[in-house]
Amino acid sequence: MRTSQYLLGTMKETPADAEVISHQLMLRAGMVRKVASGLYTWTPTGLRVLRKVEQVVREEMEKAGAIEVLMPMVQPADLWEESGRWHDYGPELLRIKDRHNRDFVLGPTHEEVISELVRKEINSYKQLPLNLFQIQTKFRDEIRPRFGVMRSREFIMKDAYSFHTTQESLEDTYKTMFDAYCNIFNRLGLDFRPVIADTGSIGGNMSHEFHVLASSGEDDIAFSDSSDYAANVELAEAVAIADEPLAATQAMEKIATPEAKTIKALVEQFDINIESTVKTLIVHAADTTAKDTKAPANAPAKLVALIIRGDHELNEIKAAKHSAVASPLVFASDEEIRAAVGAGPGSLGPVNLTMPVIIDRAVASMSDFAAGANEEGFHFFGINWNRDVALPEVADLRNVRAGDASPDGKGTLNIARGIEVGHIFQLGTKYSEAMKAGVLNEDGKNQSLIMGCYGIGVSRIVAAAIEQNNDANGIIWPTAMAPYQVCILPMNMHKSARVQEVAEKLYAELKAAGVEVLFDDRKERPGVMFADMELIGIPHTIVIGERNLDEQAVEYKNRRSGEKETLKIADVLARVQ
Ligand code: ATP
Ligand code: MG
Ligand code: MG
Ligand code: MG
């Protein structure tokens, strides 16, 4: 590509409204342009990078046996009614009407549409297991879109859904996807950690997130310095597990945050006890909305919420107590809570149980609560009481702090910030039951399909990679993501026929060899050309100047190491391949 015929769009100044380095550099390097809050145009350089990521993802998914499909972004409300999420999803779901006044949504995820496909196409266990994926635009009406494409409203996701008749088969595919994700992030040259993730949205099933380590990340990751152990601190820091029946207050003592103390006081006030059958107590900062409104680490929490997810029986007991106590206590149904605080994968999520909510000041309703929360920035803790749910992976996580020995008995724990770039989940039968997606099993009986789902934030990866790979001069692309591998910078080409001739010849030769080359044929000063190419982050620079041509040589510069060498023109191709 010749820069004179390209849309380069580089900028010298750092845009004022871009807070994180990747957002600044994506604007300055001419990769994206903002159209409206959370909506971006990918300009040519950015699009090339995005396509690279897509391609690596596609290749590894196919290698792992997944099959590509493409579903519509606009989805009929009927399907969401069937799954229950038309009511449950909360304000991140953008709802629209067509000319006939029929309801639709802009898909934030595709469990409903894929279940609709599979229940029609698959009728026998013999057609399973099946893993279908797509790379497609999603829309989530994020409460606070920010950091450019890192948290946008419209974004590209790779989402895959697998279907099984046995849990073992699901676990097989889950493992295969786990490995495929590691391959993807390794190929993309990212420093990442798979971490045990909160399963709060769907219950006790297995879930892992993949985090790119970067200071601008929105999650805290606890990982061992000498084993593979890693967990989302959101989960880890606040998890307490009891082998024996455990009083809520005891578990609270293990969590030394001011919020937990407030919760503890509240729990004591209302004398909430866990019955002997309750095996697991998880306290976690629960919700996407909460994360979106999380105050800086040192800011005092202004509002503390306690969501108790128990069973009806338990809640009825508490409800009876509540009626006798004048307090800032709100009892709300699942639906009200979800409508107020939002839900979805990784958030508060669908639960079948009634959840009372306690907060540290009086509010009349859940929507008041959500409005206050959104304005003020707050910490949001939930308690998840699951009966008979074993979570061995988190069983030893108590009171996790940096420098602690790790939960698996190996090494010490580090805590780092992470950007969630992938999330895999064993869904079970939640959607297939609701949507009656079943097959005949080996015994000739109809059975609900067992599902897994596997997401990757394709567009977020582009930003996450830049967070990890930059210097004062701009982006330093990992090879697999670079928009071009080589740039040719001819010095004063418009004054030197010899420079022009060599540059044109080298450009043609590299292109013929299949190398992606950006040929800077603009009438610009060398300083401007260098600055632009460093900013865009092209791995290899070839400088052609009169000075070296007598020796049939050019200057080579490596973007990452900064090293320069003089190369014979004949050796350039081998050096950059
Ligand atoms: P987050 O916790 O960052 O809000 P999520 O848990 O809601 O993400 P998932 O439902 O797990 O997201 O979706 C799968 C992947 O899609 C995420 O791991 C992330 O990489 C990406 N993703 C989610 N929301 C956005 C967004 N608003 N902008 C860009 N990428 C996103
Ligand atoms: Mg989210
Ligand atoms: Mg997630
Ligand atoms: Mg998440």
What pLDDT digit, counting tens, does each position of 224-249 carry? 777 777 776 544 333 322 222 233 33
Instruction: Provide the angle, in degrees to the nearest 10, between the axes of the packed helices 334-341 and 366-376.
Output: 30
From the CB of residue 333, how many other CB atoms can be counted at a distance below 10 Å?
13
Among 154, 158, 423, which residue has the most ligand 1 atoms within 8 Å of its CB, making it the best to mutate?
423
Mean pLDDT for the stretch of residues 533-541: 98
Q: 345 in ligand 1 pocket by Cβ < 6 Å?
A: yes
| 440 or 245, higher pLDDT | 440
Say yes or no to pLDDT of 501 above 50: yes
From the CB of residue 367, how many other CB atoms can be counted at a distance below 10 Å?
14
- The mean pLDDT of the chain is 76
The pLDDT confidence band at residue 197, using thresholds 50, 70 and 90, is: confident
Length of the chain counted residue by residue: 577
Which H helix or E strand runs over 335?
helix 334-341
Give exposure, 286-324, as e/b (b: 16+ Cβ within 10 Å): bbbbbbbbbeeeeeebebbbbbbbbbeebbeebeeebee
Rounded to whole angstroms, how far apart are CA atoms 37 and 243? 48
The pLDDT confidence band at residue 407, using thresholds 50, 70 and 90, is: low
Ligand 3 (ion): residues with CB under 5 Å are 346, 423
Give first-to-last CA distance, the chain, whole Å.
Answer: 18
Q: 151 in ligand 1 pocket by Cβ < 6 Å?
A: yes
pLDDT given at position 246: 32
Beta bridge partners of 416: 221
Most confident of 156-165, 317-326, 337-346: 156-165
Q: Where are the alpha helices (DSSP H) in 64-150?
A: 77-83, 85-88, 111-121
143 Cα to the center of ligand 2, angstroms: 10
Rounded to whole angstroms, how far apart are CA atoms 407 and 296? 27
Q: 349 in ligand 1 pocket by Cβ < 6 Å?
A: no
Mean pLDDT for the stretch of residues 321-339: 41
219 Cα to the center of ligand 2, angstroms: 12
**What are the structure tokens assigned to 364, written together?**
């009349």
pLDDT given at position 536: 98
pLDDT given at position 303: 30
Comparing 44-48, 197-201, 271-275, 536-540, the range with the smallest average pLDDT is 271-275
| 91 or 319, higher pLDDT | 91
Rounded to whole angstroms, how far apart are CA atoms 313 and 359? 22
- 75 with 112: CB under 8 angstroms? yes
The contacts of residue 409 (CB under 8 Å, 6+ apart) are none
The pLDDT confidence band at residue 408, using thresholds 50, 70 and 90, is: low
pTM: 0.76
Mean pLDDT for the stretch of residues 259-280: 38
| 256 or 555, higher pLDDT | 555
Among 50, 177, 420, which residue has the most ligand 1 atoms within 8 Å of its CB, making it the best to mutate?
420
Say yes or no to pLDDT of 370 above 70: no
Interface confidence, given as ipTM, is: 0.99
The contacts of residue 69 (CB under 8 Å, 6+ apart) are 114, 117, 132, 133, 134
Mean pLDDT for the stretch of residues 113-134: 97
Comparing 69-78, 361-370, 446-455, 533-542, the range with the smallest average pLDDT is 361-370
Say yes or no to pLDDT of 289 above 70: no
Q: Residue type for 95, please?
A: R
**What are the structure tokens assigned to 253, written together?**
């003592």
Beta bridge partners of 519: 2, 488
Rounded to whole angstroms, how far apart are CA atoms 136 and 106? 12
pLDDT given at position 24: 97
291 Cα to the center of ligand 2, angstroms: 9
Say yes or no to pLDDT of 198 above 80: no
Comparing 206-210, 434-438, 443-447, 513-517, the range with the smallest average pLDDT is 206-210
Spell out the long-range contacts of 561-565 with Cβ–Cβ below 8 A and sequence spacing 24 or more: none
344 Cα to the center of ligand 2, angstroms: 7
Give pLDDT tens digits for 39-82: 999 999 999 999 999 999 999 999 999 999 999 999 999 999 99
Among protein residues, the one with the nearest Cα to ligand 1's atom 16 is 457
The contacts of residue 501 (CB under 8 Å, 6+ apart) are none
Cα dist. 262→240, 301, 325, 371 in Å?
Answer: 17, 10, 18, 21
- 306 with 267: CB under 8 angstroms? yes
- 164 with 474: CB under 8 angstroms? no
pLDDT given at position 378: 33
Rounded to whole angstroms, how far apart are CA atoms 279 and 243? 6
pLDDT given at position 362: 37
Q: 420 in ligand 1 pocket by Cβ < 6 Å?
A: yes
pLDDT given at position 401: 52
> What is the percent of the chain with per-residue pLDDT over 70, rounded to a whole number?
68
- Give the pairing of strands 239-241 and 230-232: unpaired
pLDDT given at position 226: 76
Comparing 80-94, 116-130, 153-167, 408-422, the range with the smallest average pLDDT is 408-422
Say yes or no to pLDDT of 544 above 50: yes
Among protein residues, the one with the nearest Cα to ligand 1's atom 14 is 455
Give pLDDT tens digits for 8-28: 999 999 998 898 999 999 999
Say yes or no to pLDDT of 263 above 90: no
pLDDT given at position 133: 98
Ligand 1: atom nearest CA of 461 is 20
Peptide bond into 129 cis (omega under 30): yes
Mean pLDDT for the stretch of residues 514-518: 98
Comparing 48-52, 265-269, 455-459, the range with the smallest average pLDDT is 265-269
pLDDT given at position 274: 31
